[in-house]
């Protein structure tokens, strides 16, 4: 990853920050995109403290124009973008009879529409420069039904489907699009939510993923080592689902 410039949405926290950290450790430059400026500033400061080159960009992914503007800012900061990580996501557990229209719009706005527009922005740029890597974070919930999770599962199934379509359109231009489907991940939010121990107990390896487990998979798919990998979904879930 040395010398490569990477955009990470949701890069100021959780899995996104773990990816950003590993990228700078491996010599990449990172544009950290997130919605809260304070979290972005903290993340960028942490990456720079590790000797990394990073910029922070605040963006509300629910609006397409915001996505294109933010991606252009990243291009201007680094001169080119070699990889995009669509990591930002909304996760809410709620029974199907209690989900409101606003909650559907929020879930789809970030998890699907934001990912779509960021990917379109990356396609335009990467076609001009001769290729690139796009890695989208899906979920095991796209593949396995769970109660109180219907709108999130639907959004992540859309991520998988969109990524496959993008992969076919991108391949002739050397734009590689792939997905990662994590199982339970021990982020701070997951730890505070209360459901992590129950889900971690279902993992054959006997633990939830550390965010860096997902980051390592991301770096493979974003690097030159995956130059013949197109349209793949990589399960990183300790055996929770084997398909």
> How many beta carbons lie within 10 A of that of residue 124, not counting itself?
12
Residue among 17, 91, 152, 240 flagged as catalytic: 152
Token pair listed for 26: 């491996």
Cα–Cα distances in angstroms (integers) from residue 114 to residues 3, 71, 85, in the given order? 27, 12, 12
DSSP H or E segment with residue 85? strand 83-86
**Helix, strand, or coil (residue 29):** strand
91 labelled catalytic: no
Asked if 81 contacts 132 with a C-beta cutoff of 8 angstroms, the reply is yes
Listed residue (233, 234, 235, 237) closest to 199, CA to CA = 237
Q: What angle do CA 9, 192, 186 make, to 5 degrees?
A: 60
DSSP assignment letter at 10: T
Catalytically annotated residues: 152
């Amino acid at each position: 990853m040395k010398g490569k410039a990477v955009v990470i949405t949701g890069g100021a926290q959780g899995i996104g920050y773990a990816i950003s950290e590993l990228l700078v450790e491996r010599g990449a430059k990172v544009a950290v995109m997130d919605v809260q400026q304070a979290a972005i500033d903290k993340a960028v400061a942490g990456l720079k403290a590790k000797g990394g080159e990073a910029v922070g960009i605040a963006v509300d992914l629910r609006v397409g124009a915001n996505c294109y503007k933010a991606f252009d800012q990243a291009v201007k900061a680094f001169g080119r973008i070699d990889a995009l990580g669509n990591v930002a996501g909304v996760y809410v557990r709620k029974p199907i009879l209690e989900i409101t229209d606003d909650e559907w719009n929020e879930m789809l706005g970030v998890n699907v529409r934001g990912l779509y527009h960021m990917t379109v922005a990356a396609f335009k740029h990467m076609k001009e420069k001769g290729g690139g890597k796009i890695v989208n974070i899906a979920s095991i919930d796209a593949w396995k039904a769970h109660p109180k999770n219907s709108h999130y599962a639907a959004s992540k199934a859309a991520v998988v489907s969109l990524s496959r379509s993008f992969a076919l359109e991108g391949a002739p231009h050397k734009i590689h699009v792939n997905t990662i489907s994590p199982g339970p991940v021990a982020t701070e939010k997951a730890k505070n939510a209360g459901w992590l121990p129950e889900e971690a107990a279902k993992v054959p390896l006997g633990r939830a993923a550390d965010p860096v487990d997902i980051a390592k998979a991301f770096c493979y798919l974003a690097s030159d080592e995956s130059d013949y990998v197109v349209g793949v979904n990589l399960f990183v879930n300790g055996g929770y689902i084997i398909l």
